[in-house]
């Protein structure tokens, strides 16, 4: 794959028992996202590619000695992600997803017996899962090899994805399709776009949200466009997080482009996908 070459993939995943992608920085019982944050997809691809290439280290060090997740190397490879669900997923709390977490411990507690600390300072935390009727999730990916991405990703890497989120969130890849230029149209003027079945950010330039019609739901996702969340330094993570709002067609929407900014329209047998104009 040459420098700056983009590739477009449609990945069909079937999950078993649902998937659990914990929402960041919540207390009490932790809910699961419906649409996976970008970091979750990057982590799934990083795990698959690393395993295929015999790389089993979960973390690495930068020049300053800071520890990072191995997925950090992949963060600039994935340029855009969109999701399609045939039905609206449901969230539920599962007795099979439980974590034993340490509550706040003061200095005086450390002087108590180990037994007492374990009996009084630890407790169960139930974790959410996401599931829905036919267990199929379709993921559209724009992958680009550029200076910041030293890794070449292909169909074999995507077919090697085995989980989405927690270790219990096992998935099987049903099919990976690569789109070509015949599937892509660049829209640079005001135009009504129909049959949109994949998610898109509400702040995408070039669309008129007030013109949108159809059925959809909204999902807010905590994301970090700078990649700081791949660091194990929590103080750095919380300083750069943003909340992004996504429109998820359920099952289909139409929207009008403004003509002020170009858009990419990807036409697939699973429905249309819209993306920023610089991606095509």
More confidently predicted of 194 and 243: 194
Among 76, 85, 79, which residue's Cα sits nearest to residue 35?
A: 85
* pLDDT score of 106 more than 70: no
More confidently predicted of 84 and 4: 84
Confirm if 198 and 140 have CB atoms less than 8 A apart. Answer: yes
Query: What are the CA-CA distances from residue 48 to residues 41, 52, 71, 236, 243 (Å)?
Result: 11, 6, 11, 27, 27
Among 6, 3, 73, which residue's Cα sits nearest to residue 278?
A: 6
Q: Can you give the pLDDT at residue 242?
A: 82
**Size (the chain), residues:** 280
Confirm if 183 and 140 have CB atoms less than 8 A apart. Answer: no
Helix (H, G, I), strand (E, B) or coil at 70: helix
Q: Mean pLDDT, to the nearest integer, of 136-145?
A: 91
More confidently predicted of 70 and 111: 70
Q: Describe the strand order of the beta sheet including 78-84 as a list of residue ranges.
A: 78-84, 136-144, 6-15, 171-179
| Arithmetic mean of pLDDT over the chain | 82
More confidently predicted of 188 and 98: 188
Confirm if 154 and 9 have CB atoms less than 8 A apart. Answer: no
54-102 pLDDT, tens digit per residue, is 887 777 777 777 777 888 888 888 999 999 998 888 887 766 555 555 4
14-28, 32-46, 139-153, 223-237: which is most confident: 32-46
Q: Mean pLDDT, to the nearest integer, of 202-211?
A: 95
Among 125, 119, 64, which residue's Cα sits nearest to residue 95?
A: 125
């Amino acid at each position: 794959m040459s420098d700056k070459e983009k590739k477009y993939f449609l990945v069909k995943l079937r999950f078993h028992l649902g998937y659990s992608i914990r929402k960041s920085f919540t207390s009490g019982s932790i809910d699961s996202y419906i649409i996976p944050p970008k970091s979750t997809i990057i982590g799934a691809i990083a795990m698959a590619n690393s395993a295929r290439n015999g790389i089993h280290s979960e973390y690495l060090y930068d020049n300053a000695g800071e520890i990072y997740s191995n997925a950090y190397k992949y963060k600039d490879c994935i340029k855009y992600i969109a999701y399609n669900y045939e039905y609206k997923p449901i969230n539920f709390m599962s007795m099979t997803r439980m974590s034993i977490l340490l509550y706040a411990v003061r200095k005086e507690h450390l002087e108590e017996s180990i037994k007492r600390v374990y009996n009084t300072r630890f407790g169960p935390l139930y974790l959410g899962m996401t599931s829905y009727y036919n267990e199929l999730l379709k993921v559209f990916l724009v992958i680009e090899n550029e200076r910041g991405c030293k890794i070449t990703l292909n169909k074999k890497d995507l077919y090697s994805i085995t989980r989405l989120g927690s270790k219990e969130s096992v998935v099987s890849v049903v099919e990976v399709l690569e789109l070509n230029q015949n599937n892509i149209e660049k829209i640079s003027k005001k135009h009504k776009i129909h049959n949109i079945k994949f998610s898109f950010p509400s702040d995408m330039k070039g669309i008129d949200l007030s013109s949108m019609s159809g059925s959809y739901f909204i999902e807010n996702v905590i994301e970090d466009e700078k990649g700081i969340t791949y660091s194990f330094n929590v103080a750095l993570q919380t300083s750069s997080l943003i909340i992004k709002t996504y429109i998820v067609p359920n099952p289909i929407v139409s929207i009008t482009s403004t003509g002020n900014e170009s858009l990419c329209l990807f036409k697939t047998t699973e429905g249309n996908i819209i993306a920023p104009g610089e991606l095509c």
